[in-house]
Structure formats: C-alpha cells, structure tokens
Amino acid sequence: MIISNPKGTQDFLPLQSGQKHLVETRFRETVGLYGFSEIVTPTFEHTELFLRSTGLTTDIITKQIYQFIDKGGRDITLRPEGTPGIVRAVLQYNLKLPVRMFYIGPMFRYERPQKGRYREFYQLGVEAVGEIGPDIDVEIIEIGSRFFTGLGLKDVITKVNSVGCAVCRPKHRTELGLFLERNKAKICDDCKGRAERNPMRIFDCKEATCQELYINAPKIVDYLCFDCQQHFQSVLNELVERKIPFELNKMMVRGLDYYTRTAFEFVSSSSELGAQDSLGGGGRYDNLVEDFGGPKTPAIGFALGLERIMLALGTPRPIRKAVYIIPLDPSIQKQGKELLRLLRNANIPALLNNPDKNLRAGLGIADNLACEYVIIIGSEEVKKQIYTVKNLVKRTQKQVPQNQIIEVLTNKENQS
C-alpha cells in the first residue's frame, strides 16, 4: 500500500510550489518597502514560551498544540504561531529597538482539517517591536492592504477594532459577565465555559444564536480608557487619511491572549474559502516583551495564511519558460548538447530530449514539462545551420538561423 501524507498536511506539487514562491516573493517585496528584514526562528521551542504568551485559555494552547518530551527530557512544542519565538529572539539577542522583522514558515496546530484549515500551514508575518504607534499600527495594516491589492485579491475587507488594555478591561469584563449571567439560558455550552475563563472570547463563537445575542452584548471598544481611546481614534483617522479601506468591527476580538489596543483581521469573501475566510490577522501586543521578562516595550504585527491566500488566488496556470531541444536523429545529439549548453550559459532554462524518444514523444514531454519552446534539429537543419523553433504557447513555428537563436528567444516581442 502507498503511504500517504499525514492528515492535515499538504504537499505543494510543482505547480502549487510555483504559486507559493510567487506569493512569498510579492510578500518580501511589499514588506521591504516598509523597511522590514527577515528573521528565521526554529520551528519548535520550549513549551513554556507558548504557555506564557499565546495564552492558557486559548483553543491553540488548550486543544491544538503539538507537544512532546524529546529524548533529552525537554518539554517541546512545534510552534503554532511565529510571534512568541520572535519576541524571545528580540530579548535573547538584545536586538536594538525599534526593529521591524518579517518571517515566512510553517506553523503547526492540531485542528480539525477542512478546506483552508490544516495541521501544518504556512504563515507570512511581520512584527514591529519598539514602536508605540499609532503610525506603525496604520503602516502594518497598510502593508496587508497593499499586499492583497498587489496580488489582485480585490474582495478582502480589513476589520479593525480595539481590545483595550489592562486599565479598561476590568470594567468591561464585569459588564460582560453580568450580561452573560442574565442570558445564561440562551448561550451555548462552549460559551458558558468561555464566560468563566475569558468572557471576551465569546465573540469568537460561531453558533448563530450566540452571534445574534452578542450583537447587544457590551463591547470592549465602548469601554476604552482615555489613552486607548486616543490611540484608537488616531489609528482610525490615519486610516481614513491614507485612504485605506476598513470596517470597524466591535465583535472582532482575535483568538490569542496577548493582544492590546489595535486588533485587525483581513477577511476574504472569495467563494473558494468558505468558513475559513480569515486571510490573516494581527494587532498590538504591548505587554508581551515585559511578560517574557524584558522592559516595557510596545509591539505590533500580523500573520497571513499562505494556503488561504493561494485558495483565494485560484488554481495557478503553469508558467511556461523552458526550451526543449529535440534532435531528430541520434547522430545529431551532439549538436543538441551544444545548443543546450549555449542556452543555459545565456541563462535560458533548457532541456534535451533523450535519443530513445522520437519527435512525437519528445513533444509530449515538452508539453508535460510546461516548456515554452521546442527547438527541432534535423540533419537538413544542421547542414543549413537553421533550426525550427516552435512556440508552444502561441502554437506557431519559424526557422531561425543558429546564431540568432538566443536573440530570438530572449527578444520575445519578435518571436512568433
């Protein structure tokens, strides 16, 4: 029996890998415009790191972490998200602040797999540590908008909210607690648990009856302290000033414990995504550096889900770029090899047909390999030093003198 990949993991076959690479390249280009540099941290960390940051009451920690004791007796967790490892690195290496970093890599969560939700998935993220805002809050949201627009994803809405701070939360928590107590009979069992552990998390509930009820529940944004209110108002004003489209969503609270003040999510209405419509999200985490034992340091970031972005982009079309050389006779293989070397030296991707494959088979292979051109060399062609160049995309062909092949292939305007 053929062994298949584990549940919740994905293979990126060559076609998808091309699209993955393109998305990553666009991401690097976009964040580069805002001065972000790459950071690479390990895919596993000490479990304690996530317990102290992602949050003890979150689904990620209570249900989804890949945790194990390694052969040396260490308690290890495959990272479910990138932020904690990066904050650790900032402190461990005493990085000069402010610092703007981006990352691309796999994350692991033991979730119920479905379209757009996997156990191993890739995130593209940014973290800006040491900037108090509100300008950086807006820059970060702008990066997301610019990136999605650049990819041609038009149906992405940016939902923005403020989740306050330790000063404003207690009053809201009390009011929300009273609301939930009054409506105890109407809320689902999961929300009863949330009400005890971390009431604000009820807004994440997907049950329609709960969602309807919570429209009238007290929202944190209406309980902000003076400083948080000022901060949030400046963020909203600047978003308008920079003409960044957004939607104020008072029920969006995010699923991780470390958030403070500005929180946001990029949501797609693409029919390809269904329930997993969040392409990414982030927010401020002004207490995390301190919680890890560092000095009080403001910070903000986001992470985007690579697979969901690829789903929203749709099935990729193969990018045809290589040249496939078919010598029509084994005696001409030498000329084929020479042309192969010539093309590769000119930075043109090229492949040579195997002598045991005839023209028909060779053309089939060229098509399978998504080549752009086929160059056919017969003994007459060798004599005349004129080769047949077939364009597989335009389905045309012409005779090209041997010494003009590179020019014709690189100057595509003139190529029929």
27 binds ligand HAM per the rule CB under 6 A? no
**For ligand HAM, which residue of 19, 81, 104, 235 counts as binding (CB under 6 A)?**
81
User: Which region, judged by CB under 6 A, interacts with ligand HAM, from 305-313, 359-367, 378-386, 391-399?
Assistant: 305-313
Which of 88, 231, 308, 390 touches ligand HAM by CB under 6 A?
308
**What is the rounded distance in angstroms from the CA atom of residue 28 to the CA atom of residue 103?**
9
Contacts of 200 (CB under 8 A, 6+ apart): 163, 169, 172, 173, 176, 220, 253
243: left (phi over 0), alpha (psi -120 to 50) or beta: left
Q: Is 148 in the site for ligand HAM (CB under 6 A)?
A: no
Which range binds ligand HAM by CB under 6 A, 122-130, 177-185, 337-345, 397-405? 122-130
Q: With contact defined as beta carbons under 8 Å apart, do 137 and 16 qualify?
A: no
Q: Is the CB of residue 119 less than 8 Å from the CB of residue 9?
A: yes
d(C-alpha 325, C-alpha 314), whole Å: 32
Specify the residue, 26 or 117, whose C-beta has the smaller distance to ligand HAM. Answer: 117
What single string gives the DSSP state of each residue in 85-101? HHHHHHHHTT--SSEEE
Site for ligand HAM, residues 235 to 264, rule: CB under 6 A: 255-256
**How would DSSP label each residue in 320-344?**
--EEEEEESSGGGHHHHHHHHHHHH
Chain position carrying tokens 């099935």 = 315
- Cβ proximity to ligand HAM: between 270 and 415 the closer is 270
Name which of 307 and 381 has its Cβ closer to ligand HAM. Answer: 307
Pairing of strands 37-38, 99-108: parallel
Q: How far is the CB of 62 from ligand HAM (least distance, A)?
A: 14
Task: Name which position in 125, 218, 298, 362 contacts ligand HAM (CB under 6 A).
Answer: 125
Q: What share of the chain is helix, strand, coil (3-state, %, to 5)?
A: 40, 25, 35
Candidate ranges 26-34, 168-176, 187-195, 278-286; the one touching ligand HAM (CB under 6 A): 278-286
Residue 323 Cβ vs ligand HAM, minimum distance, rounded to whole Å: 38
| Of positions 85, 218, 282, 298, contacts ligand HAM by CB under 6 A | 282
Single out the residue of 134, 164, 218, 301 in contact with ligand HAM (rule: CB under 6 A). Answer: 301
Amino acid, res. 201: R
**Total residues in contact with ligand HAM, by rule CB under 6 A:** 27
**Distance (Å, whole) CA 132 – CA 92:** 21
Of 20, 52, 88, 109, which lies in the binding site for ligand HAM, with binding defined by CB under 6 A?
109
Complex with ligand HAM: residue 134 or 283, whichever CB lies closer: 283
Cα dihedral 278, 284, 289, 291, rounded to 10, equals -80
**Judged by CB under 6 A, which of 36, 121, 264, 387 binds ligand HAM?**
121
Instruction: Please give the residue ranges that form the binding site for ligand HAM (CB under 6 A).
Output: 81-83, 109, 111, 117-118, 121, 123, 125, 127, 255-256, 278-283, 285, 301-305, 307-308
